Structure 1
Amino acid sequence: MPTPANQAALEQARQDHIGRLLHRAARAFNVSALSKLHARGHTALSLAHTNLLPHLEAHGSSIVKLAERAGMTKQAAGQLVAELEQHGYLMRRADPRDKRAVHLDFTPAGWQYLLDAQAIKREIAAEYRAKLGEATWDTLNAALSSLLE
């Protein structure tokens, strides 16, 4: 069993690393975006919904493809899709290429969400740019892009 000092050092190491900072920054972005979405009337949305919706292509997707892109089970995606349907953001229809499959499309409310989400992303980016300064903002974006290549 580790000593209390070893436990404290291990806990510190678990919290202080780039992965944790990236996760916390992404969560802060998402929480801010959700708050702004709620202010624009999208009060039925949760973080789980807003984490799923970016994986739905503008021309629609199947639940299977949506689940794969979001990194979740088909059942979990199906539950979130059912909630988004209930709130009027998505609708199901028969897939034109496979009549047995279901195709998901945005409703007019879903399209309004997409427009609002884009405006909010630009708003948050402007806030970050103002806080960091243009040079640091550009460096941050370039560094993150390099990590993802």
Structure 2
Amino acid sequence: MLEQARQQHIGRLLVRATRAFNVLALQKLQAQGHTALSLAHTNLLPHLDTGGTRIVTLAERAGMTKQAAGQLVAELEQHGYVERSPDPTDGRALRVQFTAAGWQYLLDAQTVKQAIETEYRTTLGETAWAGLNAALEKLLDQHGLTESE
């Protein structure tokens, strides 16, 4: 009984839906040539601002340690998606920024997100799709969470 309750609740459905979205997005990105990316990379990249972000900030946003974020950044750097440069506001710190390949990833990721949303709209229908989005936004508003969080 307890195990069933642990597995069947709205939180678990939201986590599973998020994972399904992320796996599908990664598959589509890999089909577009982004074969070096893993789920860990694609879970970190949305937290990187287009103007660059410090690793400590990336770690906080992604809910991971600075060391884990640093490892992922190093891997992304090896694959040419990001580069580190001095932070103009603090000479002691480094800022992670997208490279040309990183910008291409951003463009491809936007196309992939739109394609997945189109698939979801088709599956659910416009009314259910709009209702799902409105319900999720209402829950986030209830907890004072903004779009960027």
Tell me how large the CA RMSD over aligned residues is.
0.5
Percent identity over the alignment is 72
- Normalized against structure 1, the TM-score is what? 0.94
- What is the aligned residue count? 141
Q: For residues 106-145 of structure 1, what are the structure 2 equivalents within 5 Å?
A: 106-145=98-137
Larger radius of gyration: 1
Match of 2:12 among 20, 33, 36: 20
Which letter does structure 2 place at the counterpart of 1:114?
L
Structure 1: gaps of 5 or more residues: 1-8
Q: Give the secondary-structure state (helix, strand or coil) at the position aligned to 1:26.
A: helix
Q: Deviations over 1:31-86 (max 9, x none)?
A: 00000000000000000000000000011000011111111110000000000000
Q: For residues 1-149 of structure 1, what are the structure 2 equivalents within 5 Å?
A: 9-149=1-141
How far residue 98 of structure 1 moved from its aligned partner, in angstroms, is: 1.1
- Normalized against structure 2, the TM-score is what? 0.94
Q: Give the secondary-structure state (helix, strand or coil) at the position aligned to 1:102.
A: strand
Paired position in structure 2 for 1:4: none
How far residue 111 of structure 1 moved from its aligned partner, in angstroms, is: 0.2
